[in-house]
Structure 1
Amino acid sequence: MPIWGADTAQLKALGSKLQAGSSEIEKQKSLLTRALDSTDWMGPDADKFRQEWNGSHVSDLARVARALEEAGKQANKNASQQEQASQG
């Protein structure tokens, strides 16, 4: 009979990396937004780009960051559950 489970240390490390990735995306999103806001760029192309950035791009990055954060939490939860099951 095969044994099901995970190496909990590796699973926790994965959870931490996923959450760190989430933080990095949020950090880069903020840095890029500030860079765009401080860029001297006028005209219809600039207006369109800023509208797209502040609309869909920022929203998409935030959605990815949330997904990574949740995946990291789930990996950590799974590791804890695995540890509990192994002790029982």
Structure 2
Amino acid sequence: MAIWGADVSQLKALGSKLQAGSQEIDNQKSMLTKVLAGTQWMGPDADKFRNEWNGEHVAALTRVSQALQQASQQATRNASDQESASSR
């Protein structure tokens, strides 16, 4: 007979680490956007880079942050479910 389950404390720790990773990406994205905005850089290369940063790069970082947030929530839910199942 196989036993299914998880270590609740490890799942909670995973959820916390995933949440922290999401926050770190958001913080870095914000900081880099501010630094870029304050950088004296003119010309077509600067315009191209800023457009790419504010378009595709910020969007990609936002998607990664959201995915980590969702994974964090799932790990936390799974830990809660495991605690409920174990207490029965």
Measured against the shorter chain, the TM-score band is over 0.9
- 2:32 counterpart of 1:9: no
Alignment of 1:4-83 (within 5 A): 4-83=4-83
Identical residues among aligned pairs (%)? 67
Equivalent-residue separation in structure 1 for 2:77 and 2:13 (angstroms): 12
Structure 1 residues without counterparts, runs of 5 or longer: none
3-state SS, counterpart of residue 5 of structure 1: coil
Distance in 2, matches of 1:18 and 1:64, equals 11
Q: Deviations over 1:9-44 (max 9, x none)?
A: 000000000000000000000000001000000000
Provide the C-alpha distance between the structure 2 equivalents of 1:21 and 1:3, rounded to a whole number of angstroms.
31
Kindly report the root-mean-square deviation, in angstroms, between the aligned alpha carbons of the 2 structures: 0.4
Gaps of 5+ in 2: none
- In 1, Cα distance between the equivalents of 2:53 and 2:79? 37
Q: Give the residue type in structure 1 aligned to 2:73.
A: K
> Which one-letter code corresponds to 2:65 in the other structure?
A
The one-letter code sitting in structure 2 at the alignment partner of 1:61 is: L
**TM-score scaled by structure 1?**
0.99
Counterpart Cα distance in 2 of 1:53 and 1:76: 32
Query: What is the aligned length?
Result: 88
